[in-house]
Structures are given as C-alpha cells and as structure tokens.
Structure 1
Amino acid sequence: MASEQDVRARLQRAGQEHLLRFCAELAPGPRAALLAELEPLEPEALREHCQRAAAACAGPPGPPPDLAERLQPLPPERVGSVSRSDPETRRLWEEEGFHQIALNKVAVLLLAGGQGTRLGVTYPKGMYQVGLPSQKTLYQLQAERIRRVEQLAGERHGTHCTVPWYIMTSEFTLGPTATFFKEHDFFHLDPDNVVMFEQRMLPAVAFDGRAILERKDKVAMAPDGNGGLYCALADHQILEDMGRRGVEFVHVYCVDNILARLADPAFIGFCVLQGADCGAKVVEKAYPEEPVGVVCQVDGVPQVVEYSEISPEVASLRGPDGVLLYNAGNICNHFFTRSFLQVVTREFEPLLKPHVAVKKVPYVDEEGNLVKPLKPNGIKMEKFVFDVFQFAENFVAFEVPREEEFAPLKNADSADRDNPTMARRALLTQHYRWARQAGACFVDACGARLPELLRVHTPEQILTSGPALSLSGSEEPPAVCEISPLVSYSGEGLEVYLQGREFQSPLILDENGVRELQS
C-alpha cells in the first residue's frame, strides 16, 4: 500500500491535495481507509475527470440548435413489432430464440449498480418488495423467470440448458446483493451460473472542479453510470467467461423494470434472424411529452435522444397513420452479440462521452462539519449503456406492448409515477389479464362477476382522461391474482389450472397450485 507521502504527491499532480486536509487528525483505521480509496486514482485521469466535470457543467445547456434537422425515425425495416406482426412471424421469432437458449448461447446481464436514492431505500433495488401477495422481491421474480425460460427451452428441444445470469453491481450494491442471494439459496439457481461483478466508481466533483470529500475519511464516490458496463466487462474478464460457456448473445436489462422478460425468446429470435449485432426493446410513447428517451437516428446513425433534447414541436409530430413520428421509447432493455461487446470494450469505449448529472452531494466543510446541501452542489459524471448504438453495424429495434413489458420502479410512492404502487398494479393487472385469457372467471364476495380490464388506447381517450392513464399500473385490476414466473413466463400454460373455474380475490397461482387467500 502506498504511503501518505506518495498519495499526497499524486494528488498534488492532480490538483486535488485538499482531499487529505483532515488526514493528520484521523485515527489509524480511517486514515488507512482513506489512503486505500485514493491510491488507485491515477493523477492524470483524476485531473482530467475533475476538469471535464466542471467544464461540462459550465457549458451551454440544451441540445444542439440544429438537432431537429438531423433527426429521423428508424427505418421501418429495422423495427420489429409484437403487436403489428402476424402470429406466424411471432412464432418464428420465439422458435429461434428458444433454439439459441437450448444451445446455451444466451446469457442475461443485469444492470444493478444504482443506489436507489429516489426510491428512498438504503439497500439495492433488486431486494425491494412492491407489496405482492407472495412478498417476492424483484430479484426473486427475475430468478424465477430465468428458471422458467430454461425449462421451456429444454422441454421444446429435449435438452438441459442454462442461461447464465451476470449481475453488474457497484461498491454500494455488491456486498448486500451477494449476501441476499446466499441467504435465499440463489433462488434455486446454480450459484456457478450467477456471476456478480463490480463497476467502477468516480469521484463527485464540485462546481469549482474539486473532488468532494464526503467525510473526513471518505471521498464522495458514485458509480460511473450503466455505461460503465463496458469497462467493467474488461476489468473482470466477463466476456472471456461468456466465451468459455459458449455464450454468443447477451440480453441486458435494468433491475427496476418489474415486467422485464429475461432472455426473451421473441426478442432474441428477432435480433438473431435479423443478423443484428445490437438491438433495443422499445415501447410506444404514451404521449408526446412523456419523459423517456427516444430511439431514432441522428445523421443516419442510431442513438437515443433524451426527451429534454427534443422540442415540444418535434415531439408532437405525427406520421400519416396518426402515430407519433418519434414514438420509440427507450426502456433500457438491449440485445448484444458477444463479438460486438468485444469490439466495444477493445476499441469504442474510450469514445463514449460522459453525461453530467447535477446532484445534492453531502460534504464536509473547511472546519470538518458535515453539510447536507439543500440544492445541487456537485457533479456526477456517468456513461450510458445505449451510447454504443452508434457503433453497431446492424442495429434493430423491437417494439413491445408497454402493459406487458414495461413498468419501472424509480421513485417512492410520494411521486406520481414509476412508484411501487404502479409497479405492483402493473404486474397484477398483467396476471389478471393472463388469467382471464386462460378462461378464469373472478367474482366478488356476493358472487357477482368481475369485469374485463378496461384499456385506454386512442390519443383522444388519453387527452380526455389524462396521459397518466396510458401508463402501466395507473389503475388497480378488478381482482388480485398473482401468477408465479415458475408457472408461466408470458401467459402460457395457464388453461390447465384456470380454464372454466371461478375464483375470488386475492389469488396466488404457484408451483403448488391455486391458492385463494384470505382477503
């Protein structure tokens, strides 16, 4: 371990010697911890990081003035759609996806390095329970979807197959996540097929270009964004591990989407049959101002343009069919070939430009007092996973129904969207819909039949009822019906349990059969 003198000299070269200003008054343990945290920071890289953060924050906000002229929707031939395709086409996609899974060529990769600050919890988001009757966490739901898709592929092809689960964590989430998985016996997955690795951390920077000291003995560090994936893949030899397992296709997704279909055979199959090296799932934007990034082209190159960069006029443009011209909402759900990821980590990662996030970062003042700022005071620099789309030789998008595949959990229930209540409703509404399609009937306490789901579809209905009604989880389902992923991955195989039967809410269908709970 480097001495205090060595670390001080390195910080001087970086212009960040202030990080040691309380070193002399620290006890041996905290002093050693601080030096250990500072030692890996390369002086030149640290200086450049801090200068770039301050310059980016001081730069002109907003999109390039000519962006509207450079925008184009994705070419129709590069976009697949579940709702606009015929059953035979969808069957072919699924067949190809299951085939690749059965050959052990598919892995899933979870982005789980965020701190969950907006959700208001101190533990990883994947450990969160949204209030399901089963009390399952996001991690458990995802593990069970992996087990089910392995089972379905194995049954179709008469083989035993494995979908490895790679989980990118951070300094904040690695320890708790690893402990949680061990405590729950890896949700009955083989621990050898669950690979956790850590993304890099970067110092938060004040507006004057100085790295922020969070405590006398600790620098304020933050994960380098979900685009830190590419450095982390190289740091931990993850692509080499995939190669040893024979993995060729990787499905990358975010931890906070309760409806995420892991190793989705239709998505995998579509991308493989298209010969894509990179793909993105998208949902149709609910309304022009919806705050989601748009997958489109800029100067003919695929990329995600943030909603804040598109003017209201451009966001409202519609095609001849009445559909929004820029309607492909990004949901952080991506397909990559392993060979594409190899090229990205080897050649393109240094070309990714960090994005600026201005945050409220606790710090110690010159007297050593802890300050919790009331307004943003610091800059966190992060890269985005989708910034590699521009390097793809064959990029495709795959549009899926929002109500089936996208209900993000980002905020506490005090927020008006993307909160635990909406995530729970979205999943239970999906399961109610599946149960009704399988022939189940639900009745209330008096025996009266409960209705089908009412859905808001048209722009006119949305304008009349309010845009929020078009979002997953905006309304409670008529009955509470939870279906275990171990029983059904996407609504298949439920008739044997439910067809022609009458149930009262609440209801759980799991591997032990149907259970009507006490309401």
Structure 2
Amino acid sequence: MTYDSLLEKYKSAGQEHVFSFYDSLSAEDQSSLLAQLATIDPARVTDIAQTVLSSSSESSDPADITPLPEESTASLLTASSLQISEWEAAGHELIAANKVAVVLLAGGQGTRLGSSEPKGCFDIGLPSHKSLFGLQAERILSLQNLLSKKTGNKVIIPWYIMTSGPTRKPTQTFFQINNFFGLDSSNVSFFEQGVLPCIDNSGKILLETKSKVAVAPDGNGGIYRALMNEQVLDDFRKRGVEHVHAYCVDNCLVRMADPIFLGFAASKSLLIGTKSVPKRGPKESVGLIVAKSGHPAVIEYSEISEEMAFRTVNSSEDLAFRTANIVNHYYSVSYLESIPSWPEHYLPYHIAKKKIPCVNLETGETINPSSPNGIKLEQFIFDCFPHLEFSKFANLEVKREDEFSPLKNKVGTAGEDDADSSRADLLAQGKRWLIAAGATFSDGIVGVEIPPLVSYVRRILCFL
C-alpha cells in the first residue's frame, strides 16, 4: 500500500499519529514503517480498544458460578480400571487411524526462568539434560512406535508448534540442531500466533520507536485465529485429522496425544474437552473450570467467595470447586472448522496493563516507564467455552503427580513450580513406575529418569 492510502486508512481510524515522525525518517526507515503499518488493521484496533476501554470489569454473581455438572465430568482418581482401559483402547484406535494431531502452545520465552531462549528449550536438570521440547518429542515418537508395532501400520501423529514472533526462529533452529529429536521433520510444523499493537490508556497505538509500532502477542487465545491464518486447518483436512490435543509447553509431565483423554472425549462426542487436576488446597491461586450461568467457563480464583473456596462435597473433605485449569484441551476438528465464521468479538479481549517503552509524540524522546503506561490486548484460549452447551463439553480430572508439573518460576524465587520441582516430580514419577513394576530401591534414591522412548506411561514399560 502507498503512503497516501495508508495515511488515509489510519486517519479514518483515528490513529494517524503513527505518522508523526515519518518525514524525518530515512528512506529505509520509512519503508520499514509502511511495511509494518500495512500488516495492521487500524480500524480493528480502534474497535477493540473502544470495546475494552468502555466495558467495566465483569463482576460475577457467585450464584451464577457452580461446580461442573456431574454428567460433564469424570475422574481418573475414581474411575474403574475397566473404564480407563476402554477410553485408552478407543484413543489407540483413533491414533492408529492417523486421525489425531497435537498442537503445542510454545510462544513464551524463558525470561522468568533466567533464560533468553524459548521456554521449550529449557533444561530442568535431568540426568539426560533433555529439554522440554526433547521430552515431548520423544513421547510422540514413543507412542507412534508402540502403535505402529501393535497394528503393523505406519502411525503418524503430526505435531503443530505455535510460536510467537520472538520464539519462531530460535525454536525452529533448536529442532533442526537436534534433528527433530528423531521425528520426521515433515510431520512437525511451526506456525505463529498473531500480534496486536499496544495502546495507551485512551486507545491510541503506541510507537516503540519513531519508525516502529509497539506490538505484543495476542495471548494464548490467538491460537484460533492462527490456526486459520497459518493454514493449519487446511493441513488437518489434507491429513484427515479429526481430533486435536492441545497443551502448554511448560509441563514436563504432559502426556502427548493422551489416548485416555482422546478416548474419553471421542466417546462423548465432545466439541471441547478439558483436563484438570485437584486444587492443592482452598487457597491455591489457580484458574478453575466451572459452570457459569449454565455454560462451561474458566474463572480466576478471585471470582469466588471465601465460602465457595472452602466449600466441600457433602460431608467429605473434597473441595466442591477443585477443578484447577491446566490448559490441556481436546478439540474436535469439526468445531475448529467453525473458526472462520466467528465474529470479531466472539472471544473477548482482556487488558494487561504493562510498562511499555515508547516514543513521546511531542519530543520524540524514548520513554522507559517505571510504572504501567500502556495496555497489551490479549485473548484467552478458554474464552470460547461459554459458547458451548454442556452436552458438547466435559472435563477429565487427572492425578497431579502423574500429569502436571508446571515450570513457571526461576529457582529460588517462588519455592515452587520451578526447575527443581519439575525435575523432582518427573524423577519421582519414574520411581513410582518402577516400584509398581516390582522394583525395589535402596535408601537415598529419590527418583529415576525413565526416558520416554523406554516408556510412554507406566502401563507400557517396554523393557520389562
């Protein structure tokens, strides 16, 4: 687009200030700015800004929030071994028929961990020094190998890795250097979540420099637009994929393409399924999967009252609101196919007030704020849940010690959810698997690393 057409477009949206320094820029910087501005829809940004800035923060009536309906939840803590085996067998059939894909949310950098690399590259200190990406890749490879051997057919679980702008190139390079951890590179795809301009408190687009708009990733809810825009949905169709397992990169215990979860969701003909773990206690600050106004939803811990937080089920000690959200989801591809028809505000935008370096439009000086001066706009992956009926949504509760150990913090800062706890949880799991298989340990051995290529889960210890 030409300078004149872009200027008119931004004027119409009330965002023409982005051209404030255009005449003083070099020809190269002018071209760079125009190229970036051409990728942005200023009218959309203005519309989103007006919507989020004019809406008051939603306050829920606790009466509208209830635990999930009994028929929309199940638990591996209480399910019979027969039921679990049936779900697992159904999941194996879907995977063996090459109808399953895995989508990874991997847009985050390891900044909070003290690393400049993408979080998936992080080494939690295992004896093998395998990265999170390496552990997860080997779980896919292990499951492919096991089911290929069982069925006599070539089983492929395509892996789609959603990066952000800053993490895409280093993520791809990391996979190339590690030869895709044994996976066929043609079955590993990288795609990029979108970005949105950062805005000030009046809804005006911020300039990071005189020749560059300040932008930020659009949140994990950006996955839906990215699946469409990056042709991932098209690839699902070409491959015949009908079921998708999506998860976050920072969980060292995640079960890739989990057959039990897939079988559970498919047996109920779900559009979306979720996994949860029981809350550690009533005071744990964690998002909860609940029923809100008669529909599935995820709420912040702050949205429930003190009484609700401590409420138990009948006379038991089990918390009534215990379904901790771990961002581990099942999707029917038939549901994802509806994304192109979603209206702009199908998913709400959330405000994240941040310290955003920017240019003073009057002086041209760079501002490095010491307090929040602007807004990043985000969407959340779970904000589509309220559009569903409970007949098409269900949650599967799993054991925390088996499936969830998030890597959030740098060692020594929070005392939990760090590399030390992730490593300890994975090693403790390996020890439990071996004890269940009949092994004994001498005193002092706190854990064992069992490589994913040796065992996908305890029930499949390949060397025993």
The answer to whether the Cα contact below 8 Å between 2:90 and 2:263 also exists between their aligned partners in 1 is yes
Per the alignment, residue 2 of structure 2 pairs with: 3
Post-superposition shift, 1:329? 0.7
Matched, 1:410 2:405: no
Post-superposition shift, 1:218? 1.9
The answer to whether the Cα contact below 8 Å between 1:239 and 1:342 also exists between their aligned partners in 2 is yes
The answer to whether the Cα contact below 8 Å between 2:241 and 2:333 also exists between their aligned partners in 1 is yes
Q: Distance in 1 between matches of 2:31 and 2:2?
A: 9
The answer to whether the Cα contact below 8 Å between 1:199 and 1:232 also exists between their aligned partners in 2 is yes
Q: Distance in 1 between matches of 2:446 and 2:328?
A: 30
Q: TM-score, normalised by structure 1?
A: 0.84
Residue number among 354, 358, 383 corresponding to 2:353 in the alignment: 358
Per the alignment, residue 438 of structure 2 pairs with: 439
Secondary structure at the counterpart of residue 280 of structure 1:
strand
Per the alignment, residue 491 of structure 1 pairs with: 458
Which stretch shows the higher mean deviation, 479-488 or 84-93?
A: 479-488
Q: Distance in 1 between matches of 2:111 and 2:353?
A: 14
The answer to whether the Cα contact below 8 Å between 2:245 and 2:331 also exists between their aligned partners in 1 is yes
Post-superposition shift, 1:348? 6.0
Post-superposition shift, 1:120? 4.0
| Superposition map of 1:387-426 within 5 A | 387-393=383-389, 394-413=392-411, 414-426=413-425
Residue number among 89, 94, 98 corresponding to 1:100 in the alignment: 94
Post-superposition shift, 1:91? 0.8
Post-superposition shift, 1:326? 1.0
Q: Distance in 1 between matches of 2:224 and 2:330?
A: 14
Secondary structure at the counterpart of residue 492 of structure 1:
coil
Per the alignment, residue 383 of structure 1 pairs with: 379
Q: Distance in 2 between matches of 1:348 and 1:136?
A: 42
Post-superposition shift, 1:417? 2.8
After superposition, the Cα gap between the structure-2 partners of 1:362 and 1:440, relative to the gap in structure 1 and judged at 3 Å, is farther
Q: Which runs of 5+ in 2 are unaligned?
A: none
After superposition, the Cα gap between the structure-2 partners of 1:55 and 1:90, relative to the gap in structure 1 and judged at 3 Å, is same
The answer to whether the Cα contact below 8 Å between 1:7 and 1:39 also exists between their aligned partners in 2 is yes
Q: Which amino acid aligns with 1:24?
A: D
Q: Distance in 2 between matches of 1:15 and 1:349?
A: 19
Residue number among 118, 121, 127 corresponding to 1:124 in the alignment: 118
Matched, 1:246 2:240: yes
Per the alignment, residue 336 of structure 1 pairs with: 331
Per the alignment, residue 171 of structure 1 pairs with: 165
Q: Which amino acid aligns with 1:63?
A: S
Per the alignment, residue 293 of structure 1 pairs with: 287
User: CA offsets per residue over residues 332-367 of structure 1, 9 Å max, x none?
Assistant: 000011001112442366411112222222223343
Which stretch shows the higher mean deviation, 247-256 or 362-371?
A: 362-371
Q: Distance in 2 between matches of 1:29 and 1:299?
A: 54
The answer to whether the Cα contact below 8 Å between 2:243 and 2:331 also exists between their aligned partners in 1 is yes
The answer to whether the Cα contact below 8 Å between 1:53 and 1:379 also exists between their aligned partners in 2 is no
After superposition, the Cα gap between the structure-2 partners of 1:118 and 1:365, relative to the gap in structure 1 and judged at 3 Å, is farther
Q: Distance in 2 between matches of 1:489 and 1:403?
A: 15
Q: Distance in 2 between matches of 1:216 and 1:117?
A: 26
- RMSD value over aligned CA atoms? 1.9
| Superposition map of 1:209-220 within 5 A | 209-220=203-214
| Superposition map of 1:151-230 within 5 A | 151-230=145-224
Per the alignment, residue 19 of structure 2 pairs with: 20
Q: Which amino acid aligns with 2:398?
A: V
Q: Distance in 2 between matches of 1:39 and 1:491?
A: 52
The answer to whether the Cα contact below 8 Å between 2:10 and 2:43 also exists between their aligned partners in 1 is no
Q: Distance in 1 between matches of 2:447 and 2:317?
A: 35
Q: Distance in 2 between matches of 1:441 and 1:139?
A: 31
Secondary structure at the counterpart of residue 167 of structure 1:
strand
Q: Which amino acid aligns with 1:125?
A: K
The answer to whether the Cα contact below 8 Å between 1:53 and 1:380 also exists between their aligned partners in 2 is no
After superposition, the Cα gap between the structure-2 partners of 1:396 and 1:117, relative to the gap in structure 1 and judged at 3 Å, is same
After superposition, the Cα gap between the structure-2 partners of 1:353 and 1:341, relative to the gap in structure 1 and judged at 3 Å, is same
The answer to whether the Cα contact below 8 Å between 1:231 and 1:349 also exists between their aligned partners in 2 is no
User: CA offsets per residue over residues 2-35 of structure 1, 9 Å max, x none?
Assistant: 2333333322222222223233333333332222
Residue number among 286, 301, 315 corresponding to 1:307 in the alignment: 301
Secondary structure at the counterpart of residue 262 of structure 1:
coil
Per the alignment, residue 63 of structure 1 pairs with: 59
Q: Distance in 1 between matches of 2:112 and 2:356?
A: 14
The answer to whether the Cα contact below 8 Å between 1:280 and 1:333 also exists between their aligned partners in 2 is yes
Percent identical: 43
Q: Which runs of 5+ in 1 are unaligned?
A: 444-448, 451-477, 498-519
The answer to whether the Cα contact below 8 Å between 1:364 and 1:371 also exists between their aligned partners in 2 is yes
Q: Distance in 1 between matches of 2:176 and 2:27?
A: 33
Q: Which has the higher contact order (CA 8 A, sep 6+)?
A: 2
Post-superposition shift, 1:411? 2.3
Q: Distance in 1 between matches of 2:218 and 2:420?
A: 29
Q: Distance in 1 between matches of 2:298 and 2:64?
A: 13
After superposition, the Cα gap between the structure-2 partners of 1:441 and 1:369, relative to the gap in structure 1 and judged at 3 Å, is farther
Q: Distance in 2 between matches of 1:348 and 1:105?
A: 29
Q: Distance in 2 between matches of 1:55 and 1:349?
A: 17
Q: TM-score, normalised by structure 2?
A: 0.94
The answer to whether the Cα contact below 8 Å between 1:251 and 1:335 also exists between their aligned partners in 2 is yes
Q: Which amino acid aligns with 2:448?
A: C
Post-superposition shift, 1:270? 0.9
Matched, 1:479 2:446: yes
Secondary structure at the counterpart of residue 113 of structure 2:
coil
After superposition, the Cα gap between the structure-2 partners of 1:348 and 1:281, relative to the gap in structure 1 and judged at 3 Å, is farther
Secondary structure at the counterpart of residue 134 of structure 1:
coil
Q: Distance in 2 between matches of 1:17 and 1:433?
A: 62
The answer to whether the Cα contact below 8 Å between 1:54 and 1:206 also exists between their aligned partners in 2 is no
Residue number among 257, 272, 275 corresponding to 1:278 in the alignment: 272
Secondary structure at the counterpart of residue 382 of structure 2:
helix
Secondary structure at the counterpart of residue 331 of structure 1:
strand
